Structure 1
Amino acid sequence: MDPNCDEFQQYEKPIEGYMASVTDSSMEDTDFSETIKFITQILMEENVDQRPFYDPLSLQITEKSFHDALSPNGTTSTSCNSNSNSSIDDSHESKPFSPDTPVSDLVNHGFQFNSCASSSVSDGPINFDSSITNMLAENIFSNADSVSQFNRGFEEANKFLPPQPQLLTGLESSNFNMMKSRKNHGREEEEGSSNKQSAISVVDEDELSEMFDKALLNVEREFLQNEQPPSSNEGKVRPKKRDSKNKTIDLRNLLLMCSQAMYANDNRNANDLLKQIRQHSSPFGEASQRVAHYFANGLEARLVCDRACAQTFYSSPSTKRITAAEFLKAYQVHFTSPPFKKFAYLFGNEMIMKVAAKAETLHIIDFGILYGFQWPMLIKFLSNREGGPPKLRITGIEFPLPGFRPKERIEETGRRLANYCKRFNVLFEYNALASRKWETIRVEDLKIKSNEVVAVNCVGRFKNLLDESIEINSPRNVVLHLIRKINPDIFTLSTINGSYNSPFFATRFREALFNFSAIYDMLDAVIPKGSEWRRMLEREIMGREVMNVVACEGLERVERPETYKQWQVRNTRAGFKQLPLDSQLMEKFRTKLRQWYHRDFVFDEDSNWMLQGWKGRILYASTCLVPA
């Protein structure tokens, strides 16, 4: 579609309601306008509003859960007592959830976990939407015992619900007291003799089923009421609240205390602290309240059902309620508001342009290409090159999609880029490479030719590779050695600068809290409070990352960022040396930052790394390397 036509221009306008109080620099800076146009064109494609957005990392983990369930050597629930009995309530229709949903509500809506969840699924998460999982549950657990286990799970989940409002208003008090009395009587008998059954089993199953159905309906009703955003007439919410005794509530300190209690296995104290955090946090409040809300979700997942529940919440298809169009719109807001992605893309493109100044063929190997947002900008640059553009070859590496077409999304990216090259008269060739484990890629898979300039690129995706704490032969080092074997003319690397990859939970929690607090504070300053796209970013992208960092361990924890100094050591050991930063390009970035962005954004240099951050905290780092 012609970018100058009226229909295109109307889609290129800022998203309604978003730019009410923010200057859209992308509309005034041609360096970044091609990426905005590229996203807009994808949004105009047929059926994009109906396509689900697949998180490649979640799909990778979900695939592992199927493998573990089917593997004869997998650690499934056979390691638990088959009579300990956990069940999945198939009577409830599958409903989508998001990281805004407290884990206790997931439990009350039919997600049930037994006491040995952490050991029985230690090698992978349970996919609760899987027919295989449902079949296994039906074969392993008896119907009679499942009623008893359902009651225990319901009672346990209620410990983590706030005391107000009353969630069981639909139950007649007399029936509820009768049920409670019989439960307590059952516990006394169970303590007195291990051969006696719980008294709850003498209650008629139909009666219990009806009572629990009423309870769950009221839980859902209360949950939906509480999730409504506050009205504009309620005024601004303060980041620090005062309780009835006029004491200031420090949410950050409460979160740190809760994580320390959990680290020390003091679950009672952790539960009490979590209740306080829940009372004063909200996904609609100030930055500190929103951070506390999503971190509380992670803590609750870790406390209630351990990593099996948490990883299911992170990766289960029942939580995928956003479409590809919604993700693209949210990404467009994220791209235009802070400078992080823009500067990382422009930095890599400018350095690649330098080495390809006289190249006849430029071959870019992009680790984590996804939609290919970086390359429309480069294609335009190449079309204006003195002497004409070179032939452009791109190898797009990404995680596979589920089903019979694992390369579908990567190939779609290639078709879109081919159309862009056609518009700018750039010869184009594309190679789609879908690999679940990037460390297994071979040099010959990349189809490198002898007469081309090779550039390897990665923006923020190496953080998801496993490290030495999981595998002795670290996939991070294996991929870096693969790139060294490629012997590229340039290797452009941008990474998330985070120090929350510690195997020790308390340390990891503290660093993640500081990092995400800076990000949420930044979003508060640059995106209007009422923006639905900001909330989608915080819920569907950052909320999931927080859940994964806080609640998951081992192979299930895929969010593993390191600092740029740690990557510098890895790069050196792999046989790379850094190129000095281009002083003119750095000055160009500083000028753009002063002209178009908030004064609290940070731009700095250190050891040939370009650093970006917010209020003194470095969040992104970029560098260029060549074989030593």
Structure 2
Amino acid sequence: MEALFQDPITTSNDFVYNHHHSEQADMIGERFFTSSGSSFSGMTKSATEAEEVVEEEGDYTDATLKFISQMLMDEAEDLEKQGCMFTDCTALQAHEKHFSDALHGSDGDPSPPNGKRTHQHSSPSAVETTYERSNKLQLAEESHEPPLDDDTYYDAIVYPSKKTGKKAGKSNSHRRGGGKKKRNPKEEVIDLRALLTKCAQSIGVNDRGTANETLTKIRLHSSPYGNGSERTAHYLAIALEARMNGTGTSLYSSYHSDSISASDILKGFHTYINAIPFKVVSFMMANKYIMKLTARGATRLHIIDFGILYGFQWPWLIEGLSARAGGPPRLRITGIDFPQPGFRPEERVKATGLRLGKYCERLNVPFEFKAIAKSWESITLEELELERDDDHDDEVLVVNCMDRLGNVADETLVMDCPRDNVLNLIKNINPHVFIHAVVNGTYHTPFFEVRFREALFHFSSLFDMFDATVPREDKDRKLFEEVMLGRDMLNVISCEGTERVERPETYKQWQVRSFRAGFQQLPLDQEIVKFLKEKVRSDYDQNFSMEEEGKWLLQAWKGKVNHAVSYWKPNNN
């Protein structure tokens, strides 16, 4: 098995499966969700046939998009009633840590950002006021044309190297309604970046008068319907006001929980996957490598997925395994995520297992699933029920974590660092490979003004790439920006101590942390890298790019590195 890991062979690229309706899966036991194929020959393609499918219609993105679309069709009623796993898990973390701090004390700073406690800070009316103001602004803006475009001026500050040319093809097709209006020569040019920075500085020194005055001006020139810089300013203004009023945690935990359903968020995520390559590239980096590990005839594949969410990563892998010459291996996924609110913390992770089980059943891939929903640092090897021994030496064991380890606390909060404890757990699992994708972020510092400046730069980049690739009037884009990006900004800017759960690190910091935990970094697979670079070059906006550095694959927008992926294994020597 070690030889299989060290010298993987090349397999065919992509396999596409045409989804069809299947009956509801039977109730499955609490420990495992299982689906066993009775005959591989009926559903399994040969390698040649699979390659022909790839040439005709193969696109990795399709598998994920179809999986989301199938969810929206099959579970429309349930998803309309549910909150979303993307938002619930981190909200619950903030609540749990808040109560833990109250009971046992906190290593983080428990005080409000301005250092003072008043009844206003925890008042529900303060949260309601922020919501009402934001909603009134949005309703007013819906009845008017979007504000005049100011992104040329703003991008000159935030992105001094920005290129104005657009790649013909896909990116241009997303620019519907993105045309620019001529500016009145007498109109005042507003530097939103300077206003936001001034407001943050005023809040940092508790100058509420200047902060309120600046916020008023920002609101006049920002909008959730405008260009990228105006949208960035709109959501940062909400976060700054929440910080000033001490309502950040309450607002973050209840952020549109009653008005936005899981169905809405999935539609927004569908738009994100289609327009932005970061998730797709990370998924493909992982799945193509896993396919190579199983290519020499492994009969079992166990994937331990930290942060599985809805399992969007795995449909393409399942399709690829189903088409493997000789039949698919038995696929076992241990899906790990943070617990959901309520009395059934594992419910939605189990629902992910049921969906993947139905998908495997359609393709005759033998499947097992175990759900774990708890704080990651408290997971034990016994709970993972590993089977790596002489009787299972044909099993490939993979640990996968896509952008989620940054939600685990670090040593600035707890002396016994949970983040390091999770890495130590992964080392003790002793997988053939640990595939780690990270958000490359520098907005983790405890110093507010520095953190705000870095967050402004990071989130401006995200809104800018949406502005270049998705029409401004797209409702699903606005949903994603509001509930995902806006909510993250709220946590980063307005929450402190254990209540701040968005704590990214740079890929270089993760590299040091991984070496210290006892991992060795594996080289990138050049065949996979070449394929992905060509895919991004041909399918996405020209401002997306990929580079290699220190055995990391870096993903960037206009030269700013946003995401990174790498392969690791325990250094048992």
Pick the TM interval, shorter chain. 0.7 to 0.9
Matched, 1:42 2:75: no
Partners of 2:367 and 2:223 in 1: how far apart?
48
Partners of 2:137 and 2:147 in 1: how far apart?
19
Residue of structure 2 aligned with 1:311, choices 220, 243, 249? 249
TM-score by length of 2: 0.77
Q: CA deviation at 1:602?
A: 1.5
Q: Which residue pairs with 1:505 in the alignment?
A: 448
- The 8 Å contact of residues 98 and 499 in structure 2, kept in 1 or not, is answered as no
Q: CA deviation at 1:589?
A: 1.1
Partners of 2:224 and 2:309 in 1: how far apart?
28
Gaps of 5+ in 2: 1-16, 23-53, 155-182
Partners of 1:287 and 1:221 in 2: how far apart?
21
Q: Which residue pairs with 1:381 in the alignment?
A: 320
Partners of 1:311 and 1:343 in 2: how far apart?
33
Q: SS of the counterpart of 1:365?
A: strand
The residue type equivalent to 2:283 in the other structure is Y
- The 8 Å contact of residues 256 and 483 in structure 2, kept in 1 or not, is answered as no
Q: Which residue pairs with 2:494 in the alignment?
A: 551
Partners of 1:368 and 1:32 in 2: how far apart?
20
Q: CA deviation at 1:64?
A: 4.6
Q: Which residue pairs with 2:207 in the alignment?
A: 266
Q: CA deviation at 1:404?
A: 2.4
Q: Which residue pairs with 2:29 in the alignment?
A: none
Q: Which residue pairs with 1:625 in the alignment?
A: 568
Matched, 1:462 2:405: yes
1:118–1:560: structure 2 CA closer, same or farther, 3 Å change rule?
A: farther
Partners of 2:461 and 2:301 in 1: how far apart?
38
Q: CA deviation at 1:275?
A: 2.1
Higher relative contact order (CA 8 A, sep 6+): 2
Q: Which residue pairs with 1:224 in the alignment?
A: 136
Q: CA deviation at 1:329?
A: 0.9
Partners of 2:208 and 2:261 in 1: how far apart?
38
Matched, 1:477 2:420: yes
1:566-605 paired onto structure 2 within 5 Å: 566-605=509-548
The number of residue pairs the alignment matches comes to 482
Q: Which residue pairs with 2:232 in the alignment?
A: 291
- The 8 Å contact of residues 301 and 331 in structure 2, kept in 1 or not, is answered as yes
Higher gyration radius (CA): 1
Q: Which residue pairs with 2:553 in the alignment?
A: 610
Q: SS of the counterpart of 1:416?
A: helix
- The 8 Å contact of residues 138 and 223 in structure 2, kept in 1 or not, is answered as no
1:4–1:485: structure 2 CA closer, same or farther, 3 Å change rule?
A: closer
Q: CA deviation at 1:61?
A: 2.2
Partners of 2:60 and 2:73 in 1: how far apart?
22
Partners of 1:541 and 1:265 in 2: how far apart?
28
1:233–1:411: structure 2 CA closer, same or farther, 3 Å change rule?
A: closer
Partners of 1:221 and 1:438 in 2: how far apart?
38
Q: CA deviation at 1:62?
A: 3.0
Q: Which residue pairs with 1:423 in the alignment?
A: 362
Q: SS of the counterpart of 1:488?
A: coil
Matched, 1:58 2:91: yes
Q: CA deviation at 1:422?
A: 1.3
Q: CA deviation at 1:238?
A: 3.1
1:54-93 paired onto structure 2 within 5 Å: 54=85, 55-65=88-98
- The 8 Å contact of residues 53 and 320 in structure 1, kept in 2 or not, is answered as no
Matched, 1:300 2:329: no
Q: 1:62-111: CA deviations, max 9, x gaps?
A: 34556677x5x789xxx99xxxxxxxxxxxxxxxxxxxxxxxxxxxxxxx
Q: CA deviation at 1:261?
A: 2.4
- The 8 Å contact of residues 613 and 619 in structure 1, kept in 2 or not, is answered as yes
TM-score by length of 1: 0.71
The residue type equivalent to 1:257 in the other structure is K
Q: 1:442-478: CA deviations, max 9, x gaps?
A: 1111011021221000001011111111111211111
1:235–1:398: structure 2 CA closer, same or farther, 3 Å change rule?
A: closer
1:250–1:243: structure 2 CA closer, same or farther, 3 Å change rule?
A: farther
The residue type equivalent to 1:388 in the other structure is G
1:282–1:412: structure 2 CA closer, same or farther, 3 Å change rule?
A: same
Matched, 1:412 2:321: no
The residue type equivalent to 1:51 in the other structure is Q
- The 8 Å contact of residues 391 and 428 in structure 1, kept in 2 or not, is answered as yes
- The 8 Å contact of residues 62 and 316 in structure 1, kept in 2 or not, is answered as no
Q: Which residue pairs with 2:340 in the alignment?
A: 401
Q: SS of the counterpart of 1:599?
A: coil
The residue type equivalent to 2:150 in the other structure is R
% identical aligned pairs: 44
Q: Which residue pairs with 1:194 in the alignment?
A: none
The residue type equivalent to 2:418 in the other structure is P
Matched, 1:532 2:475: yes
- The 8 Å contact of residues 35 and 377 in structure 1, kept in 2 or not, is answered as yes
The residue type equivalent to 2:262 in the other structure is A
Q: Which residue pairs with 1:253 in the alignment?
A: 194
The residue type equivalent to 1:31 in the other structure is Y
Q: CA deviation at 1:389?
A: 1.1
1:300–1:256: structure 2 CA closer, same or farther, 3 Å change rule?
A: same
